[in-house]
Amino acid sequence: MRRNFIPRKFRSQGAALAHDTLMVPIAWTLAFWLRFNLGSPPPDFYDNGLRALSIILPVQMAAFAAFGLYRGIWRFASLPDVLRILKAVMVGTAVAMALLFVFTRAEGIPRSVPVIYTILLVMLLSGPRLVYRWIKDHHLYLSPGLRVLIVGSGKAGEMLARELLRNRSDAFRPIAFVDENPRRLGRDIHGLPVAGNSDAIPGLTRKLEIDIIMLAMPSATSIEMRRVVERCEQADVPFRSVPQLQDLMSGNVRINELRKVSIEDLLGREPVSLDWPGIRGALAGKTILVTGGGGSIGSELCRQLARLGPRRLVILDNSEFNLYQIEMELVKRFPDLELRCQLGDVTDRPYVEDLFNRQHPDVVFHAAAYKHVPMLEPQIRQALRNNVLGTRNVAETADRSGCGIFVLVSTDKAVNPANVMGASKRAAEIFCQNLNVHSKTRFITVRFGNVLGSAGSVIPLFQRQISEGGPVTVTDPRMERYFMTIPEACQLIMQTVVLGDGGEIFVLDMGEPVKITYLAEQMIQLSGKTPGEDIQIEYVGLRPGEKLYEELFHEKEKLEGTAHKKVFLARHRKVDWERLKRTLDDMARACEAMDTKALRQQLLMLVPEHIQETTADEGEKKSAKVIYLNP
């Protein structure tokens, strides 16, 4: 059992007060002793010095209390505490000497004594505090615990080491740092050496007998995280990470609240920098409608919007359970938010019109859509009815009601679509872009790729397969996808409200595509298992409608930069407006008649680039009339 060499009484304010009270006469006596060359002062000086203590001691203790010397805790003593001591001693000495001059003309008090006394008292008060903290911070060196290697010796690493050294438990014992900055190599931080860079992690783990590695890199990029995680996996010991930078800055978590490294750490990108004043100016105080607000993207969008102070947030969703979940969350987190949760379907035109008449939204974020590619491939009616005609219902109602901004949430699968889902989203893009020309409402389209952890995405599927012992199923070893986190996607969606004038397609910078095989391997390794040994990876072939590679913009869309470095602008292609409306009317009638063949024909007219991938026969292809003015 570890013994505590520090008496418990020193933890109380009373003990601190007694210590400081004792230090005042000691410092005063030592000042006289030093003034007279380490000898006894003459009797007159000695008597005057003793009488002066009756004024110095109470004045000095009052100064200590006034400057807050007893609000702090000794084990956390730091430079601000030393500065408070210095101020209290100097003010106390000045006041005491002024009183002595008034009452006794300061007779028998050599002029050098107050100066020497001030220096000695500052040392006697601050020294024991700092020594006590040093002992408390380094008590883990006297005790057992898991030996820790900290990756990153910056601010986060320093804070983590300090927290581990302060912690009274015997769970962890920091041993050393590693860091990529060559200027820090060989330095000491809190007595711990910076022993190497990330490439040295496997060797240092064996040499220093490390039990666990802690990653203190909250602002690291995905490339940096992948590199470090690979080295940690080679070291073959557990590794954990500090919270992400945005969580630390928000104050929601502490530096020592460690977590497992997630796949988001490896695939995410650098934090998004947004024009928050512009976003808040565009959305604060407005009535905002989010369709599909109970889904993965829609619910996170609602969370982000609720922070901006809208006048009213209206959430429309056709899933009772999803709507209930987001309502309960927002009511708890934002009790002052005026919230309206509406259970309804975007394909129900009378309901949508009534909703707009009652709520009068200023801004609409249209996230409601069916998105499961293989499921929609044989169900073209449901895909077009929801994704195309549902979008038309909401967009036209927004136009007639005088809504200011309409944002359509789209997908990279709408580019050269190889599936019904992508083609349906492309058709929705076409309608909104061209309606913008005939409306006072600003219609904006936002297009991005896969979102990490969204409902129905590959991440939850792999997690379930790993938990069941495998195998993890991958369609093709060549398959690649773009990935982005849900919060990042939603923040960039809001950014387009500031950037868009209407009619644009905004393409979000998705970074580099990631091979799905790599994603599967990393998720298996992060679960503590070995790919190919503990968990097998099986290749099952492409599913209906799937592509090996996704694209973010069409070759005929002129991609341009915007004021935001992660948002690009793709100029849309115009179509014959009257023919477009007639085609959508025909599509609505075909849905009512359950005429799948006609629906496929109409989809080909709207999205001619889908013609190469569709299963329609040659006769259908030849009879499809493309409605582009400039195909």
Kindly report, residue by residue over 496-505, the tens digit of the pLDDT. 788 878 878 8
Do both 319 and 444 map to the same domain?
Answer: yes
What average pLDDT does this structure show over 307-331?
94
Cα of 368 vs its chain's centroid, Å? 25
253 in any annotated domain: yes
Do both 499 and 406 map to the same domain?
Answer: yes
Reported as a pLDDT band with limits 50, 70 and 90, residue 599 is: very high
Q: Is the pLDDT of residue 529 over 90?
A: no
What average pLDDT does this structure show over 518-545?
77
At 252 the pLDDT is 44
Which of 393, 433, 439 shows the shortest CA–CA distance to 414? 433
116 in any annotated domain: yes
Reported as a pLDDT band with limits 50, 70 and 90, residue 624 is: very low
Polymer length in residues for the chain? 631
523 in any annotated domain: no
Question: According to the per-residue pLDDT averaged within each range, which of 393-402, 497-506, 611-620 is highest?
Answer: 393-402
Rounded CA-CA distance 391/162 in Å is 54
Strand boundaries in 400-502, DSSP class E: 405-411, 442-448, 450-452, 472-474, 480-481, 483-485
Give the containing element (helix H, strand E) for 149: strand 146-151
What average pLDDT does this structure show over 1-14?
46
Beta-carbon count within 10 A of 488 CB: 23
Last residue of a domain, one of 135, 166, 193: 135
At 630 the pLDDT is 39
Reported as a pLDDT band with limits 50, 70 and 90, residue 21 is: confident
Q: Is the pLDDT of residue 317 over 90?
A: yes
268 in any annotated domain: no
> How much of the chain exceeds pLDDT 90, in percent?
24
At 228 the pLDDT is 85
What average pLDDT does this structure show over 267-283?
71
Q: Is the pLDDT of residue 111 over 70?
A: yes
What average pLDDT does this structure show over 41-54?
71
At 255 the pLDDT is 43
Last residue of a domain, one of 206, 227, 261: 261
At 182 the pLDDT is 84
Q: Is the pLDDT of residue 75 over 50?
A: no
Rounded CA-CA distance 443/436 in Å is 5
Do both 118 and 156 map to the same domain?
Answer: no
Mean pLDDT of the chain: 78
Least confident of 103-117, 144-158, 343-357, 409-423: 103-117
Q: Is the pLDDT of residue 196 over 50?
A: yes
At 408 the pLDDT is 94
At 475 the pLDDT is 79
Is residue 235 within 8 Å of 189, Cβ to Cβ?
A: no
Rounded CA-CA distance 118/90 in Å is 7
Question: According to the per-residue pLDDT averaged within each range, which of 68-72, 89-93, 450-454 is highest?
Answer: 89-93
Do both 369 and 447 map to the same domain?
Answer: yes
Q: Is the pLDDT of residue 238 over 70?
A: yes
| Choice between 578 and 483, residue whose per-residue pLDDT is larger | 578
Is residue 5 within 8 Å of 135, Cβ to Cβ?
A: yes
Do both 308 and 394 map to the same domain?
Answer: yes
Is residue 123 within 8 Å of 151, Cβ to Cβ?
A: no
181 in any annotated domain: yes
Specify burial of residue 574 (Cβ count, 10 A radius: 0-12, 13-18, 19+): middle
Least confident of 100-104, 155-159, 228-232: 100-104
* CATH number of the domain bearing residue 375: 3.40.50.720
**Torsion angle of the four alpha carbons 292, 298, 301, 302, in this order, in degrees rounded to the nearest 10:** 60
Q: Convert 519-555 to b/e letters by CB count within 10 Å (16 or more is b).
A: bbbbbbbbeeeebeeebebeeeeeeebbbeebbbbbe
Do both 423 and 505 map to the same domain?
Answer: yes
Last residue of a domain, one of 96, 114, 135: 135
Rounded CA-CA distance 505/327 in Å is 31
Is residue 347 within 8 Å of 329, Cβ to Cβ?
A: no
Q: Which whole-number Å values give the CA distances from 483 to 268, 407, 489, 511, in the listed order? A: 7, 21, 10, 8
Rounded CA-CA distance 347/591 in Å is 11
Least confident of 75-84, 240-249, 402-411: 240-249
Rounded CA-CA distance 447/552 in Å is 7
542 in any annotated domain: no
| Choice between 55 and 332, residue whose per-residue pLDDT is larger | 332
Q: Is the pLDDT of residue 316 over 80?
A: yes
Q: Is the pLDDT of residue 397 over 90?
A: yes
Q: Which whole-number Å values give the CA distances from 340 to 109, 291, 313, 331, 334, in the listed order? A: 78, 12, 6, 11, 13
Do both 188 and 169 map to the same domain?
Answer: yes
Q: Is the pLDDT of residue 287 over 50?
A: yes
Least confident of 223-237, 401-415, 546-560: 546-560
At 548 the pLDDT is 63
Q: Is the pLDDT of residue 555 over 50?
A: yes
Q: Which whole-number Å values give the CA distances from 543 to 63, 238, 448, 551, in the listed order? A: 78, 37, 21, 18
At 250 the pLDDT is 42
What average pLDDT does this structure show over 57-83?
70
Do both 253 and 169 map to the same domain?
Answer: yes
Reported as a pLDDT band with limits 50, 70 and 90, residue 511 is: low
Do both 128 and 16 map to the same domain?
Answer: yes
Do both 556 and 409 map to the same domain?
Answer: yes
Do both 247 and 222 map to the same domain?
Answer: yes
201 in any annotated domain: yes
Q: Is the pLDDT of residue 614 over 80?
A: no
At 394 the pLDDT is 96
Range of the domain at 203: 139-261
- CA atoms within 13 A of residue 531's CA, in its CB half-sphere: 17
| Choice between 565 and 584, residue whose per-residue pLDDT is larger | 584
Rounded CA-CA distance 435/395 in Å is 8
What average pLDDT does this structure show over 133-139?
58
Residues contacting 417, CB < 8 A, separation 6+: 423, 425, 426, 607, 609, 610, 613
What average pLDDT does this structure show over 256-260?
56
Is residue 186 within 8 Å of 193, Cβ to Cβ?
A: yes
Do both 125 and 155 map to the same domain?
Answer: no
pLDDT digits (tens, 9 = 90+) for 58-69: 888 888 778 777
The conformation of residue 39, written as its DSSP 8-state character, comes to S
Main-chain dihedrals φ then ψ at residue 576, nearest 5 degrees: -75, 110
473 in any annotated domain: no
Domains contained in the chain, number: 4
Rounded CA-CA distance 605/104 in Å is 106
